[in-house]
Structure 1
Amino acid sequence: MAHSHHSDCCNHEPASATKVVAVPQKDESSWRSHLDLLGALAILVVMLVLLYGFKIQFPNLVNLMIYGTAWLLAGWSVMKMAFRKVKRGDFFNEFVLMTVATIGAFLLGEYSEGVAVMVFYSIGEWFQDAAVSRAKRNIKRLMDVRPDQVTVLRNGKSEIVNSSSVKLNETVQVKAGEKVGLDGELLSETASFNSTALTGESRPDTKTKGELVLAGMINLNTPAELKVNALFKDSRLSRILEMVQDATARKSRTQLFISRFAKVYTPIVFFLAFALCVLPYFFVADYNFNTWFYRSLVFLVISCPCALVVSIPLGYFGGIGLASRNGILFKGGNFLDVIAKTNVVVMDKTGTLTKGVFKVISVEAEGLAPDRLVYLAGSLESLSNHPVARAIGEYYGTREKGIVRDAEEIPGMGIRGTVDDQIVTAGNNRLLEQYGISYPVGLNDISDTIVLVAINDKYAGYFRLGDELKEDAKRSVTDLKKAGLKVVMLSGDKQTVVSEVGRELGIDEAYGDLMPEDKVNKLQLLKQRYKVAAFVGDGINDAPVLALADSGIAMGGLGTDAAIETADIVIQNDQPSKILTAIRTGKITRSIVWQNIVLAMLVKVLVLIWGAGGMASLWEAVIADVGVALLAILNAVRIQRISLG
């Protein structure tokens, strides 16, 4: 029979358990793959219409043959699965449960009810399969945006080749409107890209020559050329896909609990149903076997735990998909649970709350005009690739530069050379001291990074540089505090700088001058105080703290490989505002999962009581079972449609 793909929900091995992003070759949730089930439903409807609408009754043998055919059509795959499980020694599962219940109904002559149980149970499974397949397709479609082919320049000609065959340092062309197939360095002067698939942000991301462009981005306007710096299998997007695949296999504590619960719950139900049939013989004066046997069948049907075991993993799928759509990667459903309980968010400063890019804050000149100082230092620093030198070069801009000769860069100190026949020295205090140049000693007390400048070996002023705050940093901290969370900053920068940033952002506690091991010790103390802590960082020195935190969150854009690999959650666009989005996703997922648990258990307990008391029939039992399963599934699927703003 075509619908032989039922999920083994009583053993917690639903289709959702592994390889979520592998979409089946054939859509098993389509109506064509369930023609046998639809045929059984048609037979049941026709027979009920003839019986209750036209009062036409058939002989018992004819009824048995017609309903028996419908039962086989609807339940063949269920019985086959039950037989396979019994052969493996697994007697207590939903397939055996449904087979026993429907055979029992036939033995009592309740043919229509026996068929109805099997038909509606199989329809419920169909909906479950469809919902799981939809969740898989959503995550697949959301993330797998890698083009299989790219245009590569070889021997002066463009060739269309498989992305996996392109080698490092080859040049690929990306036309306007095309998706980027491989990570690479932009060779064109400028190009704008849509990075929604990676970051969840729809606004254009304009790149300039030399900047990194990632696979999965879409070239918006002009043709661009890239120099490949990562193989297809090593691209950032390929790693994201692996994370999503791994995420679906990591079960949350709630999922694991329900799995263990189902393994204990199902055999208990079998024995209770048996007791419901047999024990009244010893206590009820007018005991009738058929009556109590029927009640035990109702008990069996309503006790099926499938609504719990299918809808709960589906809820975590929805949470992972919702987060991915917002540029956040959870490496497992278990981390959705953990982050929902977070009490304190601990953050690194550089690259997390700040852009990690130096910017000139002020210029102080002595003995010459500030513009002249900027001209001389900017001309010299334009020859260096050091981040501090680049910051001064950007501050100077595109204005005409002086003639530079005999420039020498001294590692760890600065640069010295001749600009328009004047000797310019630009660097830290050690560089000036090396050349015997005196400067105001009070400059050593400035907390920010400074570049001292001397003209003809005489101190001439300094540049004060700072790391610029991210645009949403202050709003992120404010929103986290409004949500009732404590916000703490741990940084290796000077305490004066850290305190200043902390005051500007409104952070509760800010600690500076910390080595990596100091951060670990601080986080341990914070965990003792606040119980559940999330840490957000991006550098290689953050890896130990990310590993220690209950939820380790890495900034995926600027973050190092070590931080991204160690973290439990990755924020693709480096925006601190996504931290609260991640926490909200975890809370929404947990809320909906527990709604499903309460709903399923409440309905089942009520109908079990009614069935044991003879107030519910097999019809009501199967409708209640399938109904609560469908409600739970629809509630779980709802997660994927939620907007987080």
Structure 2
Amino acid sequence: MVLVVASIAIIPPLLWRQPFDEWVYRALVFLVVSCPCALVISIPVGFFGGLGGASRNGILVKGGQYLEALGNVDTVVFDKTGTLTKGVKVAKVVPMADMTREELLDYAALAESYSNHPIALSIVEAYGKPLDRQRVDEYTEIPGYGVKARIRGRQVLVGTAGLLKQHGVTCPEVELAYTAVHLSIDGQYAGYIIIEDELKEDSKQAINDLKRMGVKRTDMFTGDNYHIGLKVGQNLGLDEVYAELLPHQKVEKLETIEKTKATRKGKVVFVGDGINDAPVLARVDVGVAMGELGSDAAIEAADVVLMTDESSKLVTAIMIASRTKRIVWQNIIMALGVKGLVLLLGAAGTTSMWEAVFADVGVAILSILNAMRVIKKPRSHRCDEATAA
């Protein structure tokens, strides 16, 4: 640009004997207009506005690149428990042998007392008494399986049938339509607890809104058995359900989904909350964690955190991302359009320095004001707003 400005100031007076001061003035106008401030400001300030707007809606986005990715979502994959369902209600406690219901709940609640998984929280809530954690000598959480603890010298396993089978404990068949938490004490089967999964109030609406917004696929991962996953998937209208998955199997399924997604440029989003979701959250294009009940590992690995644990917040996040993308492009087109026009007029000698200053500083201010619009709270994540996004 400096060479162009120098050419405008020197060549016409030398070749065509034009007034030197007039062409120097035109060159200075051209130089002021060519300043890239408005263009450089328009992009980051748009994303800053989007990040601020997301924060005001209880959505923490850890960078502008993730906000940009949310504006081009192809597939959304949800974890089940704690994400689409509450998993907070103990429906039945079935002790075995000489174990009483209260004793079984006591051991289960103590073993799960250090976990923030929704199932663990539901067991502690069902116990309903103060817990003496000093009775827990050792505690190990095994992602995808459950927990292993030593309580007053007794080894306690609480989790899936697979966890107990790994330690040589045989589990009886239980009702397939519900989540079963099995217990063993010192290698002996002690009983099981049935967890009744309840859908979150906004889950179905969130799935419907995502489809209205143009998301091609909505899938679900779960470590529960296939019958439970299928029931939830049918109730919510999901496209595909992958059940009985361990953490590493979730990563494998995610890689398969990424290879078969509808569009190359479209992004895959995974929404989860537990420690066993952390590998997937770290691997996916955009990882979204539930902030209120989510594990520290999931929140750390995620790119976006929904602070209220509402699935519908993902719809709001995508709306804000799409709106941010539109505003950024508006700023780019406005900056380039105004500057290009004033550059041509300035070289032709039909604009003054005042117009040049407006094309630089004025357009920069307009870009900032335009970007501030994205901070406003979206009116609704349904119907016309969702379609527009």
Q: Is 1:520 aligned with 2:265?
A: no
Which amino acid is 1:475 matched to? Q
Q: Which of these residues, 277, 280, 300, is aligned with residue 12 of structure 2?
A: 280
Match of 1:467 among 197, 200, 217: 197
Cα drift, residue 579 of structure 1:
0.9
TM-score (norm 1): 0.46
| Identity score, percent | 47
CA distance in 2 between counterparts of 1:586 and 1:529 reads 24
Kept in 1, the 8 Å contact 2:273–2:293? The answer is yes
Matches within 5 A, 1:114-133: none
Query: Which is greater in Rg?
Result: 1
* 1:377 Cα deviation after fit: 6.2
2:55 corresponds in structure 1 to 324
In structure 1, list runs of 5 or more residues that go unmatched: 1-268, 365-375, 399-407, 415-427, 453-460
State which drifts further: 382-391 or 581-590. Answer: 382-391
Match of 1:513, SS?
coil
How far apart, CA to CA, are the structure 1 residues paired with 2:335 and 2:218? 38
Q: 1:412 aligns with which of 157, 165, 168?
A: 157
Q: Which of the residues 229, 233, 241 maps onto 1:510?
A: 241
Amino acid at match of 2:3: F
The Cα offsets for residues 506-558 of structure 1, whole Å up to 9 and x where unpaired, read as 11111112122221121112222224101111122212211111111111111
How far apart in 2 are the matches of 1:612 and 1:390?
Answer: 71
Q: 2: distance between equivalents of 1:396 and 1:323? A: 38
Taking a change above 3 Å as real, the CA distance of residues 302 and 464 of structure 1, as seen in their structure-2 partners, is same
Task: Give the distance between the partners of 2:32 and 2:121, measured in 1 at CA.
Answer: 72
The alpha-carbon deviation at position 642 of structure 1 amounts to: 3.8
Mapped contact 1:359–1:468 kept (Cα < 8 A): no
SS at 2:220's partner residue? strand
Deviations 1:414-437 (A, max 9, x none): 9xxxxxxxxxxxxx999xxx99xx
In the alignment, the residues of structure 2 paired with residue 341 and residue 393 of structure 1 have an alpha-carbon distance, to the nearest angstrom, of 41
Matched, 1:573 2:308: yes
Partner of 2:336: 601
Is the contact made by 1:451 and 1:463 (CA closer than 8 Å) also made in structure 2?
Answer: yes
TM-score by length of structure 2 reads: 0.75
Give the aligned residue type for 1:480.
L
Deviation per CA, 1:451-509, whole angstroms, max 9, x where unpaired? Answer: 89xxxxxxxx9974323222211111111112111211112221221111111111111
Query: How has the CA–CA distance of structure 1 residues 396 and 338 changed in structure 2, closer, same or farther, with 3 Å as cutoff?
Result: closer
Task: State how far apart, in whole Å, the 2-side matches of 1:546 and 1:390 are.
Answer: 22
Q: 1:499 aligns with which of 230, 253, 259?
A: 230
1:571 and 1:300 map into 2 onto residues whose CA distance is 46
1:445-594 to structure 2, matched below 5 A, reads 446-450=176-180, 464-485=194-215, 486-530=217-261, 531=264, 532-594=267-329
- State the SS of the aligned residue for 1:469: coil
Secondary structure at the counterpart of residue 468 of structure 1: coil
How far residue 599 of structure 1 moved from its aligned partner, in angstroms, is: 0.2
CA distance in 2, matches of 1:603, 1:342: 32
Counterpart residue identity of residue 317, structure 2: A
- What is the letter of the counterpart of residue 72 of structure 2? K
Task: Write the distance in 2 (CA, Å) between the matches of 1:614 and 1:510.
Answer: 67
TM-fit CA distance, 1:620? 2.0
2:374 paired with 1:639: yes
Counterpart of 2:148 in structure 1 is: none
Residue 381 of structure 1 deviates from its aligned partner by 4.8
Asked if 1:301 corresponds to 2:24, the answer is: no
* Displacement of 1:393: 8.8
Segments of 5+ residues of structure 2 without an aligned counterpart are: 113-118, 130-152, 183-190, 381-389
Is contact 1:547-1:566 (8 Å) kept? Answer: yes
| Residues 228-267 of structure 1, C-alpha deviations (whole Å, 9 max, x = no match) | xxxxxxxxxxxxxxxxxxxxxxxxxxxxxxxxxxxxxxxx
CA contact (8 A) 2:90 2:193 kept: no
Relative to 1, partners in 2 of residues 1:324 and 1:392: Cα closer, same or farther, differing over 3 Å?
A: closer
* Alpha-carbon distance in 1 for matches of 2:332, 2:73: 22
Give the AA of the match of 1:592.
Answer: I
Q: d(CA) in 2 for partners of 1:625 and 1:390? A: 58
One-letter amino acid matched to 1:271: L
Summarize the Cα distance change of 1:429–1:334 in structure 2 as closer, same or farther, 3 Å threshold: closer
Secondary structure at 1:536's aligned position in 2?
A: strand
Contact 1:312-1:636 at 8 Å conserved across structures: no
Q: Does the 8 Å CA contact 1:494/1:512 hold for their aligned counterparts? A: yes
Is the Cα–Cα contact under 8 Å of residues 537 and 563 in structure 1 kept in the other structure? Answer: yes
